[in-house]
Structure 1
Amino acid sequence: MDQIMVAVDGVRRYVISHLSRLGRACDVDDVMQDIRVAVWDGVSRGQYRQLPGVPFGAWVQGVCTNVCAAHIRRELSHPTLPLLIEAGDPDGSASLDALAMLVIGGVDRSAEKIIDKEWARKIIQLTGASVPDGVWELAVDSLTGPRQYGPPSPQDRRRWHAATVVRQTARTVQSALEVEPQEIRNIGDVCQRAAECLPTPVLRRTAATIVRTGVSGPDRARALAALAAELGVTERYVAVQIGFARRLYQTAWRILQSARRPAR
């Protein structure tokens, strides 16, 4: 486990450099999470074969390269919609400095969604209402400011983190809006589907096993340890994700509950 975490942390500078050259530095946290999961999955499935003279880190670097390439292909293939509106500006009268790029993902009806500005506006408004104060502004600054080359500053890292929060919140909102009302029959369905709306495997499993169940004390510690072993990450890493998973889960839960059809 420690060897995996050390090796994955060792490729972070490569990921930052690679994504920065393409203007996607704000995706670093997402890609690093994907790499952790991919490495653990590869080891657990026996895809890694120890060879004389070939360090484990070299194999991890190969996984990193493949994950980065797949992420970039996926992001470039997604339709994106530039919105000249801020979260609190439903009339779309914000200045160009407030331009935000939100990914409108998915393959079904994607063209219709790009044309349907009301759909996009709804995602923007719900996302802006769901992120902490100040995060929206930092994210917009990250996405619209001039590209910076060289080692990232602490402010750069804050902006990247904010962009990640906004983007993952937007994806959660979109997933929740795509759930058909007839699929939500009771409060149990709301809770289950809310956890499924989160954008990454780590966040979904954290929401399902820790946030949704509300475990505490020794039970929480055991659940955290089991989840860390399942995902191939440290317990500390899972613990750090709980707060964000809870916020995203609550966002999806509110959307699904508001769309739930009243019982007859």
Structure 2
Amino acid sequence: MNNSFSFNSDVYNFWPLYDSIKKYYPIGIKKNQDLEIYRQYQGIQELEKILINNISDKKTYQSQWVSFIKKVGSDLGKKVNGTTYGLVPSYSAYLLLDSKKSGNRWNYKELHFAVSLLGKYFQLYGLEKTALNYEDQPIPYQVQNLKEIIVSPLEDYKDYFENVELKITQVFKDYRLVPFTIGQSIINGLEIYHLDREYCSINMALFNDFLGFGEELNEVTIRGDINYGMYGWKK
């Protein structure tokens, strides 16, 4: 998968993603060298206001997101966990689809979803991971290992994937799914305020950094159609 942001412009129009990102992030300005200039960028200041109005404002956050994810969990009969935090420009959560314990090992199946606060975009993918709990140690700790990312409706994830996708589009009108292959691509010169990274992906700019990219995913199996959702971006 090519890590650089590109697409077939004869068939698709992904320029809205780029336009949203350049509106809020000063592409080409390295924040570690010019943090004061970086923070003076009008887009960064607007982004901070968006976070305050939509996340820090508890009333808005409850009405816009918490009520939505509670209904999703209730309708699908699964536990839902909110993952929205701090300076990240999206609402996010996941459904716990399954969990199994064997000794000190837990195996989890989760369906993650996020709705951007910077444009009409959403993200949806499944995760399979293991967690080793060492509760008998002087200082208890846990080690997590991501095994698989499911990027389209597939097998045990299919019904939940399609249901969550439908529920998002019903509530968040005209929002479009960002395909995995596009979301994981990078824009040269893009740096995210709250991340200590030289290279940042579209997903990091619009949603969060939960997925990582590149070498961070070398040991992870990606299952499904990485182009799923492209139909929504056809000209």
Indicate the structure with greater helix content: 1
Task: State the TM-score, normalizing by the size of structure 1.
Answer: 0.27
Task: State the TM-score, normalizing by the size of structure 2.
Answer: 0.29
Greater relative CO (CA pairs within 8 A, separation 6+) = 2
Max Rg structure: 1
